[in-house]
Structure 1
């Protein structure tokens, strides 16, 4: 992962109006841990990234897509597949026709 992801995690937390203390309490860690992550002194484990994504109300794919630009297209593909899977067959057929029109 990109070495600047601590700054990105901080910006994401701030954009949601959360304090380091709030995030730390919800994740059952110390505010110092959150500070260290945001300042690039500590890397989050996969487990912590999962908890962080859940706290932020997004999928791990979406979080990693935001943190790692090279992964973003995979995260977007996965998000599209999740949404498409919720559609009924008739809606899927309409969507497919629409996509084919866009690509022509």
Structure 2
């Protein structure tokens, strides 16, 4: 997703949930005009509203805007790897490290 279709993505999520702009606006404490402006790429949601929108839709902020910035996708992947590695026991971590070292030859 890029910034040109951010609003379209937001609109698609709303429609998929069967919600109107008025319903979303009421749930988020904003005006229907604000939602319209977001969906038509005339404005971007604030972080606070994005957080509420993600909660309303039952999705993560990553799924809403994570790929707008190409560098963010890499950061999100790094975080996923880190979290997965942190759940491994020490022996498995050592094996994983040896495997990675072999790949880098």
Same fold, TM-score > 0.5, yes or no: yes
Q: For CA contacts below 8 A with separation 6 or more, give which structure has more relative contact order.
A: 2
CA shift in 2, pair 1:76/1:37, >3 Å: same
CA RMSD across the alignment: 3.2
Give the TM-score of the pair, scaled to structure 1. Answer: 0.63
Give the TM-score of the pair, scaled to structure 2. Answer: 0.62
Instruction: Name the count of aligned residue pairs.
Output: 103
CA–CA separation in structure 1 for the residues paired with 2:24 and 2:87: 31
CA–CA separation in structure 1 for the residues paired with 2:83 and 2:59: 13
The equivalent of 1:47 in structure 2 is 48
- Residue 39 of structure 1 and its aligned partner are, at CA, apart by 0.5
Does the CA contact (< 8 Å) of 1:5 and 1:40 recur in 2?
A: yes
Instruction: Could you tell me which runs of 5 or more consecutive residues in structure 2 were left unpaired when the two chains were aligned.
Output: 98-105
Asked whether 1:57 is paired with 2:82, we answer no
CA shift in 2, pair 1:81/1:23, >3 Å: farther
Runs of 4+ in 1 over 4 A off after TM superposition: 66-70, 79-89
The equivalent of 1:22 in structure 2 is 23
- Residue 38 of structure 1 and its aligned partner are, at CA, apart by 0.1
Instruction: Could you tell me which runs of 5 or more consecutive residues in structure 1 were left unpaired when the two chains were aligned.
Output: 97-104
Alignment of 1:1-104 (within 5 A): 2-15=3-16, 17-19=17-19, 20-65=21-66, 67-68=68-69, 70-79=71-80
CA–CA separation in structure 2 for the residues paired with 1:56 and 1:81: 27
Partner-residue secondary structure (3-state), 1:41: coil
